[in-house]
Each structure stands twice: as structure tokens, then as C-alpha cells.
A and B are shown apart, each in its own frame.
Chain A
């Protein structure tokens, strides 16, 4: 525990700094003084006042909900990634391993195809189909031995199925209206986030993260292997189900609110392990902090880069992939993933 204070303190400072920067930076430059004004106006209860002046309006109705959403989604993807990696005892696992992302993408595509551009329909459909996909994968896996391998394979099967569904819908979609919306949605962005979306994410992701945080200890014995965890007194099938349900719900809610943002759930848990080790007591909260910060920095970059905003999912992949390569190479020099 004692050796982890420095990474925690450093990450917390980075987090605080990135929140301030994310609120200030952008097309509409807000000077730090207005930030203070807004905070005091929220505390005094007049924040939602429509007569707010320009900077406060930008801060309150545009940037703050987006900042909160980015932090929540980053934390959810990273924690879920850390959980799934331990559950499957594989450092190459990402939160989408059981098909949640392809299921949710199918749900969003389906809603765009059938219901047009209603935000609520797209989010709701994405969330529900994400859960459907994982339930399907879990049931297939359970019936074929309930081992880690059978679960991974059924996740692959389900993902393939829903990816085919997405391709079919795209092919059938109106190429001038629906198809671009589908393509942009799958790239992942916080561009269209408003308070309603943020509140929905808060309502689902925060309790999910809290329960995962409370249950984090069992992940330690589970990371050793199913049999070893059983001999140590863990009801492995039950524990695994709890983690899969919670990890899936928070990822489905994330994908529903902002589309597919890849690499965060894969790369951030690795950075966290390198900085604080594998003990989930520390790893889970640290992954949340690091993931929230990482996503916020990426999103701020995505909307402040010269030449206009690009989808943050493009940026995370663009920076995440080389970073992962760097980790692979340097980690090999330290003795591989085992160390």
C-alpha cells in the first residue's frame, strides 16, 4: 500500500489539472476567473439560470457535462478492462471480449435505421443490445464448459454475429442520411453530449463502479486461476457472474452515451499495473483515476486540435496503438508481462 502513494498523488494532480484545462480550453476561451464565478454560482444555486452570461453558459451547459461524461466513460472502460483482464487471466483482453461493444454498436445502428436520429432511442437500444450480446455469449459459454476459453470463444462468436448485423444494416441504410450517422456513431465522440446524457451515465456508471470497487478483493485470487481461487474459498462461477454483469453494464452505458472508443480499456489497465502493481485493492481505484484522466485529456485534445474537432475514438487509437507497442517493447526488456 505504502509504495502507491506517489502514483496516486501524481495522478490526482494530473486529473485536477486536466479538469481545469478541459473547462478553460476550446473554441470559446474561458478565463480562469469565470471558472471561479461559475463554481460560486453553482453553489449559490443560480447555475441553471437562463440569464447566465456567455462564459458561464458555455461552461455550464457545454463543457461541464462533457467533462463529467468523459471522466465517467474513461473510468468505466478502464476499470472494466482491468476486471476482464483478471477474470480471463489475459493481458490482451479488452472490455469488448464478450461482445458488449459489438452488441451496443448493433443496437445503435438498428435504432438509427429504424427510429432515425432520436438520442434516447439510440442510447437505449445500444445499452440493451450490449446487454443482450453478453447474455448470449455468457449462456453459450456456460453451456460449453463454463471455462475461460469457452467464454472467450462464445464472445468471438457473438461479436461476429452482431458485426454481420451491423454490416447488413449499413448496406440497407439510406446512404445520404442514415449511413453517415451510423459511421460517425461507431467512431465514438463526446461531441453531442448534453446534460441529459451525462445524468443517464452518472445514474448507471457511478453505482456500477462503486459496487465493483467494493467487490474488488476477489479479483486477486481469481487472477491466480479458477481452481486455485476455489481452494482459497471463492465461489468462482458466482463471482465471475457478478464481475461480468457489472463490467458489462458500465461499458454498455459508456458505449451508449458516446459510441465506440477503443484502446482505453486495453491500454490504461496496463499503465496502471506498471505504476501500482497487480493487487486489485489498489489497481481498481487507480485504473478509474487514470482512465478518467486519460479520456479527458484525449477528448480535450480531440476538440482543441487545429483544423476542427475529430472523433476522440480516432485519437485514442492513433495514440493508443503506438503506446501499446512501446509498452510491449519496453516490458519485454523488463522480463515480459509476468513482471
Chain B
């Protein structure tokens, strides 16, 4: 206990089918926690439970000792910013309009964003080097640019916790690293507690300080990355032979092992 965000004994059922069972872990300020696990292991569901979009049947999520469940959405949004998975809009908003919406939780019911809010939203975009995209329609941006705009929105939300749902899926090789660089930088510079779901263990090896590994809705391993990141754990979770190659001075590299079992 003692982290900024603490998940304890969390369980969630979808139509009487258990999706998550007895999940507990803490995340501290300044740590970048990777959520690993195969498809359908419950990563996205866990993120939604943490954010309170889904209400867990068992256990609780606490921020600074206060339970998230039952908290008004405004307050949750001031504590946690979410970068959603791949998003396209029905109606066209510009990149800047998207970022400005990060301020919603701090506006009164009848209040509109001021010129100052807009200037600060622009500053958040500049901080991530995407000031030039401000007036472009969001839907015309590339996948990487959209992800950066959503990151700028999360930054502008000024929440101490950042949740990202597979921010690198659908991105090309370069953009995957670009986005994770930005997430890493935001976590450090702002002292944010970040949770990110990832498919590629190599990205986790390079950027995460902590790992939470899920398998079939249960917590398989958790801890500092150095402790958790090993062949046995990864092989068990992904159900295949896996080799972890360690090179001095660089993050470990993960590859399918020679005995990669695909029955």
C-alpha cells in the first residue's frame, strides 16, 4: 500500500462470466507501469474498472486513499486522464478543439473554455511538438498524430494519473517508439503515475519501471520490471517459448524461442 493509486482485490464479471479476479497492485508517482497479457486477459477491462467507467463487482480502486467507485465523474477526471484506443470521430473537430476538451472537468456546468484555456491547450500541444497540427481536422491526421493529440489532451487534463489503452497498436515502427518516448517523458517530468497496456514486451522492457502481468483475468506476476521480466514468466503468460536476450547497457530484447510451441 501507500502508492498514489491502489487497486485491491478487484474482481469484475461480465454477464456472470468472471473477467477479472482478485487483482491487487499499487502505482506510485513517477512510475510507468506496464500492463501485459495476451488478448482477452482482461487488460482493457482492468483499465476501465480503474477509471470507474465499469464498476467492479468486488474490491476497490483508491486514489490517495479515496475510493473511485461512486465518485462524481468530474472528480475522477481531475484525478485520471485516459488516452483511449484508436479513435475516429463522427463529426469533425480540429486537433485544438479536441485538446481543449481536456479541460471539461474543470469548467462549471454553464462555463465555456476561455481564451486563456485555449492558449494553454495550444501550449500543451507545443510541449509535445504538435503545435502545427492545431487547426487540422482530427480525422485527417495520421494514427501517430492522433495519438499525440490525445496525449496532449491528457496532458492538458492535468491529472496525476495517466491511463493508456494500447497507445501503440495500429502505429508504425517509428511512431510506436515516438509515442512511448512521450509517455515516458510525461511520466518523469510531471511525476505522473502512468498505467499503459502493451502488446509488445519489447516496448515494456524499454520503457516501463513496473509490470503487472495478467493471465486469464488473474494477476500472474507484478513488481519492478527487472524482477518480473524473465523468460519463464513471459513463456507462461503468452503460452509459447520465449527468449530474453540481455545486452549490457541496453534494455533486454524478447524473441520467440527455438521451441516456440504452437501446437
Residue numbers in A under 8 Å from B88 (CB-CB): 338
A278 at the interface (CB under 8 A from B): yes
Which of under 10, 10 to 19, 20 to 34, or 35 or more describes the interface residues of A? 20 to 34
Interface string of B140-175 (1 = CB under 8 A from A): 100000000000000001000000000000000000
Interface string of A80-102 (1 = CB under 8 A from B): 00000110011100000000000
Rounded to whole angstroms, the CA-CA distance of A279 and B94 in the bound complex is: 9
Given A228-B87, A232-B105, A234-B104, A339:B92 Cβ within 8 A: yes
Identify the closest chain B residue to A88 (Cβ). B90
Residue numbers in A under 8 Å from B91 (CB-CB): 85-86, 89, 91, 223, 273, 278, 337
Task: Give the interface centre of B73, B80, B87, B137 by most chain A CB atoms within 10 Å.
Answer: B73
Binds A, one of B58-66, B106-114, B231-239: B106-114
B42 at the interface (CB under 8 A from A): no
B51 at the interface (CB under 8 A from A): yes
Interface string of B72-111 (1 = CB under 8 A from A): 1110111011101001111111100100011011110111
B24 at the interface (CB under 8 A from A): no
Identify the closest chain B residue to A231 (Cβ). B82
Identify the closest chain B residue to A279 (Cβ). B97
Option from A221, A337, A338 in Cβ contact (under 8 Å) with B104 = A221
Given A217-B107, A217-B111, A338-B90, A235:B72 Cβ within 8 A: yes
Identify the closest chain B residue to A213 (Cβ). B110
Residue numbers in B under 8 Å from A85 (CB-CB): 91
Q: Assess the A338–B89 pair: CB atoms within 8 A.
A: yes
Count the B residues whose beta carbon is within 8 Å of the partner chain — how many?
Answer: 37
Q: How far is the CB of B20 from chain A (nearest CB, A)?
A: 18
Task: Give the interface centre of B74, B80, B89 by most chain A CB atoms within 10 Å.
Answer: B89
Identify the closest chain B residue to A227 (Cβ). B53
B139 at the interface (CB under 8 A from A): yes
Rounded to whole angstroms, the CA-CA distance of A273 and B87 in the bound complex is: 21
Query: Which residues of chain A in 201-250 are interfacial with respect to chain B, using CB atoms and an 8 Å cutoff?
Result: 214-215, 217-218, 220-221, 223-225, 227-228, 230-236
Q: Assess the B92–A278 pair: CB atoms within 8 A.
A: yes
Identify the closest chain B residue to A283 (Cβ). B91
Interface string of A269-302 (1 = CB under 8 A from B): 0000100011101000000000000000000000
Rounded to whole angstroms, the CA-CA distance of A338 and B92 in the bound complex is: 6
Residue numbers in B under 8 Å from A279 (CB-CB): 93-94, 97
Identify the closest chain A residue to B96 (Cβ). A279
12 further A-B contacts with Cβ under 8 Å, apart from A228-B84, A273-B91, A273-B92, are A89-B91, A91-B91, A218-B104, A220-B93, A227-B48, A231-B81, A232-B104, A233-B105, A235-B73, A277-B92, A278-B91, A338-B139
**Which residues of A does B touch, CB under 8 Å?**
85-86, 89-91, 214-215, 217-218, 220-221, 223-225, 227-228, 230-236, 273, 277-279, 281, 335, 337-339
Instruction: List 8 A-B pairs, Cβ < 8 Å.
Output: A89-B90, A221-B101, A223-B91, A224-B89, A278-B91, A278-B97, A281-B113, A338-B92
9 nearest A-B residue pairs (beta carbon):
A233-B105, A233-B77, A231-B82, A278-B91, A232-B104, A338-B139, A233-B74, A89-B90, A214-B110
